[in-house]
Structure 1
């Protein structure tokens, strides 16, 4: 080692880390990247760059504030979503359950109001059934008119075809 090496602490001032010092370095506070996280980030950048950027940001956030790794987070969110979908929640059943939950709420404690609400809901259900029936009947009516019109056009075509002279060029005489 030369004089510059001795003065600067060897290797031009660079500090040499041993295996135990490297693992506990202050700049390396966060957890290591798993293969899942690396693949997810690369695929995220390939598919749609903001996804890869979000994964990269999450890893930096995790290294600073802690938290689960990306695979654990994704697994937990997936399980939460499955639980929500399998439960009897209004989100899982779609719009019908949300509308029903608005109308078929728990009793209020006031018997008169609850009776009135039940009667009104029954009346509205009956009106809905009547509207659905009328819509079905109208669709059948329109279908019957279409069929009659198609039949009439077809019969007119056949009559014109029969009236054509047998000889020829396909045009009426």
Structure 2
């Protein structure tokens, strides 16, 4: 083996367009919108093409980018090893359960915070009302 083969550039998967799409997907919908705006600023047909692609691929109106769909597909794909697949499915089920419990906890936390803020508002309103009633009226 020569040093030229050892230092060869790594093989890139896909074209520069698919790499660019993956790069933007990794950064989320905001990156797509920023790329579209920059496209309109520098050369309007590029911005228009990005807008059309975002609408066609449902990236503009969907909160999730394609990478989340790809990750979900890979997560449930069988490895061929039944022991590992059962371990993986049990772990994913447990993580989903923990996420559900955490989201419920956050909901209760938000509800408690909202109630505390509302109670504070009502107490301040009642105090202002009592202060107005207690002020002497000049006749």
TM-score range, shorter chain: 0.5 to 0.7
SS of 1:136's partner is helix
Q: Which has the higher contact order (CA 8 A, sep 6+)?
A: 2
TM-score by length of 2: 0.54
Using a 3 Å threshold, how does the CA distance of structure 1 residues 163 and 84 change in structure 2: closer, same or farther?
Answer: closer
Gaps of 5+ in 1: 1-46, 53-70, 87-91, 169-173
- Tell me how large the CA RMSD over aligned residues is: 3.4
Counterpart-to-counterpart distance in 1, 2:113 and 2:71: 31
| 2:43 pairs with one of 20, 42, 51 | 51
Using a 3 Å threshold, how does the CA distance of structure 1 residues 162 and 93 change in structure 2: closer, same or farther?
Answer: closer
| 2:91 pairs with one of 86, 102, 120 | 120
Task: List, as ranges, runs of 4+ consecutive aligned residues in structure 1 with deviation greater than 3 Å.
Answer: 80-84
Counterpart in the other structure of 2:108: 137
Using a 3 Å threshold, how does the CA distance of structure 1 residues 142 and 93 change in structure 2: closer, same or farther?
Answer: closer
| 2:57 pairs with one of 68, 79, 85 | 85
Using a 3 Å threshold, how does the CA distance of structure 1 residues 98 and 151 change in structure 2: closer, same or farther?
Answer: farther
TM-score by length of 1: 0.44
| 2:69 pairs with one of 97, 100, 114 | 97
